Structure 1
Amino acid sequence: MADHGLIGDLRTAALVSTGGAIDWFCCPRFDSPSVFGALLDPDGGHCRVRPVGEPYTSRQFYFPGTAVLITRFTTRLGTGEVIDFMRPAIGAHSVRGHRLIRMIRCVRGHVEFAVDVVPRFDYARRPHTTTVTADGVLFDSGPSALTLHAVREPGDPQLAHAHVIEGGVYGSVTLETGQVRGFVLESDGGEPRATRVTEIERAFEDTVAFWRDWLNHSTYRGRWREMVERSAITLKLLTYAPTGAMVAAPTTSLPEQIGGERNWDYRYTWVRDASLAVSSLLALGFTGEAIAFARWLRERQARGDGGLKIMYRVDGSPDLMEESLAHWAGYRGSVPVRIGNSAAGQLQLDVYGELLDTVYQADRRGAGIGHEGWKALADLLDWLAANWDQPEEGIWETREGKADFTYGRVMSWVAFDRGIRLATAHGRPCALDFWRGERDRVYDQIWAHGWDPLKQAFVQRYGSDSLDASLLRMADVGFVAPRDPGWLTTLAGIERELVTDSLVHRYDPDVSPDGLRGNEGTFSLCTFGYVTALARAGYPEKARLVFEKMLTYANHVGLYAEEIGPTGEQLGNFPQAFTHLGLIDAALTLDGALG
């Protein structure tokens, strides 16, 4: 999975391999059924452009400061490029649908490219018709369609000679030095039409300008600017512009263990993940994302029963019924392939702390809270006051019953603390004394039941002596001082039991709390959280070494999945918002600690 780059238009996204294949693309939204799904099954559909015949080498990189992906092929006779991008569907382009542009260019000698476009609609469950015209191809499945518009110049041969095999189209194009051709894939784009080279070159320029203009709002000037900016662009690519919601990842069922069953659908908006990601973007100077996400969350709260679901679809729907695609083989045989996510009905108390902390950070950076927004936050805290003292499924979404997780209690404390700070700073009406009382009850309970005096550490859940890497955030959120003796012994315990050559497991891999068979890799968010904790605890040089090691696990274009396997391979859905926000936070903290 790691041999891919990501492109997108802030409504959906596609993965492009170093071999020139788009083998994951859902349309029209992140959480829509796939059109190209070869990543999870050989017959799941793909769109591939590669040199014909003779051996070639390929390299892939992003056009600097953008989400435009370039795959460069070198053969014995020449060098060519495939430039993939989607113009962000906002502003003047907001109603033009989804247009995935594949610009093919020869930069030296001559190169013959093979072009395969083989869509498989609705996770390869729905048949379609294929109609080839002089100007392109229409793939029509009934409910949805995909149009291929050929990029042609006067005098170019028409496409009528393209081969159609089992609904896919196969052809080729030969280019000499300096020539540019390609095609545009448009969702529900109607009849194919000839597209001129100047049109896609103008779209390329517009897309480059969009990403560079957006990135210019970043205030980061630290040591790891390239990696931080790539992570910021990745988080932006995972944002659904019409609502401001951010998905956890653009993929489903990429396994946490090859051949295992920890295969989940992450194409939804977790309140936790999105809150933390928005907070990271805020720290870089991006405020618009926080305002849009806050508006989306207020609408979810207004339509609920006082509390929040832990996740939603990008349009705010809570309908995430989980099912398995039994006809798909899965990534490297890892089944089941799941769509939907039944964890949506779980109780996870930590989400309130992450949300309130992000609102607090946004307020400190000038994104004030209006009257309706404050009413929604106050209602959430009143709900939490009545519900925090109960077992839950926790941040790792256990499916074997509820428990009193220490992290959930810590983040409940954070929610009350941030709510109290906001109310005090702005003189907002609320049950302030009541919130203070609940905050202090949570604090005392954590020290009474979440602290193990024999182990001299905070533990995963009440009554257990297991450690948990989620607790690395305790000092970061201010529950304990970063150099408190109890925190330093907890940090030492996590290092002793959960860290392997600087990489961090989220919990004891031999005692999994999720109720599933097998094990998993180290959790990349936790590794970056370990960097942050070390830097805050007064070990900046040690933190820097861990951080630099972690940077070596990024793929060739700076992207990360959820986990790292025993041989350094990327595991889990890809790319993962959790990991990239963790990188940003670690870089910012480490920059400050190093001076």
Structure 2
Amino acid sequence: MTETAIADHGLVGDLQTAALVATDGSIDWFCCPRFDSPSVFGALLDDARGGHFRISPVGTEYRTKQMYFPDSAALITRFFTEDGVGEVIDFMPPVDSNATDNHRIARMLRCVRGAINFEVVVAPRFDYGRQAHQTNVTEHGAVFTTDELALTVHVVREPDDARLARLRVEDGDIHISLDLVAGQLRGLVLESAADGPPREIRVTEIRRLFDATVGYWRSWLARSTYRGRWREAVERSAITLKLLTYAPTGGLVAAPTMGLPEQIGGERNWDYRYSWVRDASFSVDALLRLGFVDEAARFGGWLGDRIREGAGSGASGPLNIMYRVDGSSDLTEEVLDHWSGYLGSRPVRVGNNAADQLQLDIYGEAMDSLFVADRAGIQTPHRGWTAIRGVLDWLADHWDQPEEGIWETRGGRQRFTYGRLMSWVAFDRGVRLAAAHGRPAAVDRWVLERNGIYHQIMEQGWSPARRAFVQHYHTDVLDSSLLLMPKVGFIAPRDPMWLSTLDAMDSELVTDSLVFRYDPAASPDGLRGSEGTFSLCTFTYVDALTRAGRHNDARQAFEKMLTYANHVGLYSEEIALTGEQLGNFPQAFTHLALINAAVTLDSVLERRKRFQ
């Protein structure tokens, strides 16, 4: 069990798929041709059988450091040896919004000082390691082929380089040795669906490709309007969200990975390579707050498509909670029995059966994002409004029933307070949109349902014994999803009932600024084991503290949370007791919440500074 730690990775991508590069120079995770396609390199989940693309110095000990090329998604892994300093620069040239099977991972090898002998090992394991491949070596590289996919390795070199006599094939994998001295740059380009056999790529060509890729990211990031205190963390989060976007549809995957555990050795190992309605909804608000109007419009368009397509409504309502990146909804879950899992954490799941759960909160999140977009000038067309009316009319008939809840637990349906809260948001935003634009709608009924939900939450979602709002109507368990109550406008942020709830969460769910979702021991969720603190909830806690006027507490919690980022500013889903990052990585939801918390807190601190 030698898998590299989750946090010891950086992310590169081309807006249709992505790869994780470890600090030792190994690509440990890559799915092709899409985020939700089978893996080609999967050493992150099984170092022995998953496959990898490793580059590292050979014959000497070395230390490594990793960083992003400033304001970009190009990743630099540096190696420090007794004989010299070398680096691998990884990037994926962005592809346009048209879906394609052609993707490139460029790996530039450079000797900075002295001399470096790099060893390259390309060991793909197609279809999660279930499909054998053939290897064909040529003068300019190699081709790995299966019945469904081919990967071509092109060699980067100069005309006067000797032929690659030091290339060998072992069990279908290729091994290459490259000796470089200070100033030399060579490399490899891994390409799917290449047009023709391997070709020799000149150094000038890969440099141009690198410059174009960095230029793309810098041009995109320059559109950000954020100039606050935590600009570096916010901009890295924005780039991460962009990397997790499937450009052809505008959908946002929750994470590029699957099967990473919420507890080492536990069974909470989900597949997150899909587009959640909830994540996409929150992304609209976060990106608009940074000035990325086009991206917010794309996410809004993705949501609108899902709403229009769901007009017929199935068992889970007009909307599924998640979709594949192309908008389809077949996410049948299976287990990869032949993989050991990250540090022995099994089962390793592909697909996600939670897709069919009834989670009523998604309707409020979707409507809130459309409302926020509308205020930014991104209006809903007639067909979209007609679909929205159908969704809200369905919700009026169905909101008052048990459901599975936001956390996708598998312990049975309950009357979750958060689901009711977001149903209130759905009707509230629908009423506001209808009034703002004079749109036809069953406004009287929507107002009636909105008011009924409000009274129900105040009467049944409030626990006099706990002096707090609770997870569902038949428990005293607290739930940090309710930290959004003041943000969505359900309750005033300094209402005594809310301040009392915040105090209760402080004492039970918060540990030195880190926040648990809920207590699984007190609220059985159908799964064995425990989990770490949930990073999304920690950043949401910062937002709630800020709105409650606890600005110093909010800033301290935010600054502490920044120390849990990995070496290049990325966050997974959870933080373990040891401070280790757990769960799928990097997680879009966490980076969305970081942006929202930073913008909210920074705005308040700026106002305070002006009046001092």
**Fold in common (TM above 0.5):** yes
Report the Cα distance in structure 2 between the residues aligned to 1:11 and 1:95, rounded to whole angstroms.
8
Provide the TM-score with structure 2 as the length reference.
0.96
* CA contact 2:38–2:127 (8 Å) conserved in 1: yes
Q: Any idea what SS the aligned residue of 1:303 has?
A: helix
Letter in 2 for 1:31: D
Residue 111 of structure 1 pairs with residue 136 of structure 2: no
- Gap change, CA 1:96 and 1:32, over 3 Å in 2: closer
**Deviation string, structure 1 residues 103-122 (Cα, Å, up to 9, x no partner):** 11111111110000000000
Stretches of structure 1 lacking an aligned partner (at least 5 in a row): none
Q: Which residue of 1 aligns with 2:251?
A: 245
Aligned to 1:358: 369
Quote how far apart the aligned CAs of 1:399 are: 0.8
Q: 1:78: how far off?
A: 1.0
For 1:147, the equivalent position in structure 2 comes to 152
1-structure distance, mates of 2:99, 2:36: 19
Mean Cα displacement is larger for which, 567-576 or 507-516?
A: 507-516
CA contact (8 A) 2:43 2:51 kept: yes
1:186 equivalent among 165, 177, 191: 191
- Counterparts of 2:179 and 2:507 in 1: how far apart (Å)? 59
Aligned to 2:380: 369
In the alignment, is the contact (CA less than 8 A) between 1:37 and 1:120 conserved in 2?
yes
Which letter does structure 2 place at the counterpart of 1:446? I
- The equivalences for 1:285-296 within 5 A come to 285-296=291-302
Residue 440 (structure 1) aligned with residue 485 (structure 2): no
How far is 1:199 from its partner?
Answer: 1.1
Question: After superposition, what is the alpha-carbon deviation per residue over 1:427-479, rounded to whole angstroms, capped at 9, x for unaligned?
Answer: 11111111111111111111111011222110100021111000000001100
The alpha-carbon deviation at position 297 of structure 1 amounts to: 2.5
1:315 alignment counterpart:
326
The range that moved more, 439-448 or 555-564, is 439-448
**Aligned partner letter, 1:218:** S
Q: 2:44 corresponds to which residue?
A: 39
- Measure, in 2, the Cα distance between the counterparts of 1:319 and 1:278: 25
Question: Residue 516 of structure 1: CA displacement?
Answer: 0.8
Q: 2 CA distance for matches of 1:55 and 1:152?
A: 26
Q: Does the Cα contact within 8 Å between 1:133 and 1:160 map onto a contact in 2? A: no
Shift of 1:486: 0.3
1:210 corresponds in structure 2 to 216
- Residue 518, structure 1, aligned to residue 529, structure 2: yes
Counterparts of 1:390-409 in structure 2 under 5 Å? 390-409=401-420
Distance in 2 between residues matched to 1:39 and 1:98, nearest whole Å: 21
Shift of 1:95: 5.4
**What residue number does 2:421 align with?**
410
CA distance in 2, matches of 1:292, 1:245: 8
| CA-CA distance at 1:65 after TM superposition | 0.6
* Residue aligning to 2:571: 560
**Residue 426 of structure 1: which of 420, 427, 437 is its match?**
437
Tell me the residue number matched to 2:610.
none
Q: Deviations over 1:8-39 (max 9, x none)?
A: 00000000000000010000000000000010
Do the aligned partners of 1:240 and 1:314 also contact (CA within 8 Å) in 2?
yes
2:3 corresponding residue in structure 1: none
User: How large is the Cα RMSD of the aligned pairs?
Assistant: 1.2
* Per-residue Cα deviation, 1:252-300 (whole angstroms, up to 9, x for no partner): 0100000000000000011001211232111111111222222222322
Superposition deviation, residue 510 in structure 1: 2.5
Equivalent residues in 2 for 1:374-389 (5 A)?
374-389=385-400
Does residue 76 of the first structure (1) align with residue 87 of the second (2)? no
Task: Tell me the SS of whatever aligns to 1:159.
Answer: coil
Other-structure match for 2:167 = 162
- Tell me if structure 1 keeps the 8 A contact 2:33–2:101: no
The separation in 1 between residues aligned to 2:525 and 2:94, in whole angstroms, is 38
1:334 aligns with 2:345: yes
User: Amino acid of the residue matched to residue 156 of structure 2?
Assistant: V
Match of 2:483 in 1: 472
Amino acid in the other structure paired with 1:335 = R
What displacement does 1:163 show? 1.2
Aligned sequence identity (%): 65
- Structure 2: runs of 5+ lacking an equivalent: 1-5, 607-612
In 1, the alpha carbon distance for the partners of 2:400 and 2:530 equals: 30
Amino acid at match of 1:245: G
Q: 2:402·2:416 contact (CA, 8 Å) conserved in 1?
A: yes
Give the stretch that moved more between structures: 282-291 or 562-571.
282-291
- Spell out, residue by residue over 1:525-555, the C-alpha distance to the aligned partner (whole angstroms, 9 max, x if none): 1111111110100000110001000000000
Query: SS in structure 1 opposite 2:232?
Result: helix
Partner-residue secondary structure (3-state), 2:118? strand
TM-score calculated relative to the size of structure 1: 0.98
Name which of 27, 32, 54 aligns with 2:60: 54
Q: Does the C-alpha gap of structure 1 residues 509 and 499 become closer, same or farther in structure 2, counting only changes over 3 Å?
A: farther
Instruction: Please state whether the residue corresponding to 1:403 is helix, strand or coil.
Output: coil
Most deviating of 568-577 and 275-284: 275-284
